Structures are given as structure tokens and as C-alpha cells.
Amino acid sequence: MFFTKYFSIAEMKAWSLDQRQKGKTIGFVPTMGALHEGHLSLVRIARQHSDTVVVSIFVNPLQFAPHEDLDRYPKTLEKDVELLKKEGVAVVFIPKASEMYSPHFQTVVEVTELSKHLCGNSRPGHFRGVATVVLKLFQIVNPHIAIFGDKDFQQRLVIARLVKDLGLEIKILAGPIVREADGLAMSSRNQYLSLDERKRACVLYEALTKALTMFQSGERNSARIIMKVSEMIDKVSPTHVDYMKICDAETLEEVWSIQKKAILAVAVYFNKTRLIDNVILSHPERSEGSV
């Protein structure tokens, strides 16, 4: 039986408890909606590793700063539900903000060190909001497995750390970056781009691919790789480069010489649209991802 937005938090908890009592494993994919193939790829991973799948759709106000795009974040609810139904999802859980955050809500969760870097540095409080809402969703859905995409690499590390530090019995799985035919990483925010911005945004993939080629050819100096990436991106005149860094893939501390698995992460604005992307830089025998 297929369920959608009509579940309250209490009903969602009861459904999950019933599934567990029946011996079913629950896979969970938290989203903010405006679904695309990247989200659906995570759903398919969940289906492969569990008996039943829950997808949440909740645009979490706690992770948006006042000047960000909370009010205009894309909403395609009916389309999202139909896509998930076709993917065989058992429950689409669509809680209300008023139920998730009561008027006197004042408890938050923070993963202190991982949240300092990259997006956490340019979006203060963002990962506090992410960690808080994901922990709440974990408590409600009570999954055995949860899947997060590697386009939001830092987010996945933050959640994995939260799960480990709090002793939650949830396995976190990663889904690879899913890209458009021209290489642009799929994102709900891509629809903000004008035709010209959309065309120019492809440079992110091109620059990351060049960085990976340099690394595979033996380059280990972060500054030289960043210089080349910067040159390529600057040629298309983005509105603003938020960050462009090579970091340790476990701690997210910036590294100047790549001696073990690292991540090159970029965040670039085209007009008001902020796009993020990344590529893993590691030796072939240890590689766990690519552009």
C-alpha cells in the first residue's frame, strides 16, 4: 500500500514500528523535494539495501539564513509524489514545519568540527539546521539505512559523524553524483539558472575533470591544481566564487600537498544561484569516486 503526505509524526512512528516488528528493514532518503534523477538514484540504492523505503519531503527552515532562498525554494510536490510512487517507495512523509518545530522549540544539534569548513564557513548555522532536522527525522522514521548523495559531500560526513557520535543504529550509505549530459551536477537549484548561466555553469565539471586529470598525472601540489581550476572558471565570468579548496576527505581540513584521499570542492555563484560540486582525488587503487 502506498502512503503519502497524510501521515502525522505519530502515524509515521507507528508505521515504522509495525514494519520493524514484521522484520522489515527500512531504507530512508531525506529530501527537500523538487526531485530529480539524483534523488531517484538514492531511492534505488535504498531499495537495493532494504525491504521498504521511506522518502521525506521537508524544506527545513532551520538550515536557511534570512537572506537565502527559503521562500522561493522550488516546490513540485505532486510531481515528486508521482515520481516516488513509480519508484516503489512505500511512504512519502511530508511533515509540516509547525509539527517539526513547535512554537517554543529551542533544542539544536551541532557537529562542531566538520561543520566549520567549506559550506559551513560561508553559511553559518547551516549544518546545525541540517543535523537537527536529520536527527529528528531519524527519530521519527526509525530507519535501518539512510542514503545521502555525494554532491553534498560535507553533509554526508556531518551526518555520518552525528550517527557515530550519538551511537545511532543507522547505516549511512553514499550515492554518487548524478550529472546532466553536459556534466553539470543535478540540483534542484539548477532551475534558477538562465539559459546563459546554465551554459556557463558547465565549466564546473570541466574544471573538476581537469583537476582529476592533473592529479592522475602525478600532480600533488594543491595550489597548482587550484590555480588551473580557478583559471578555467574565471573565463566564464561567474558572479562570485564562494570557495575552491582541496581538503582531507575525512576531516575537511585544507591540505597543501595531497598525500592521501582528498576532495576538491567548489561553490560558485551565477547571479543569485549558488552551485556546489566536487571531485575525489585519490590513488586509483583507493579511489571511491570520480566526476
| Residues with a known catalytic role | 39
Contact of 244 with 222, CB cutoff 8 Å: no
Task: Report which of 43, 57, 58, 53 is spatially closest to residue 90, judged by C-alpha positions.
Answer: 53
**Euclidean distance between CA atoms 219 and 64, whole angstroms:** 37
Handedness of CA 190, 150, 261, 129 (dihedral sign): positive
Contact of 39 with 45, CB cutoff 8 Å: no
Cell of 123: 553559511
Q: CA 80, 85, 91: angle at the middle one, nearest 5?
A: 90
Per this entry, what is the length of the chain?
291
Interacting residues of 29 by C-beta distance below 8 A, sequence separation 6+: 39, 42, 43, 46, 53, 54, 55, 56, 146, 147
Query: What single DSSP character describes residue 198?
Result: H
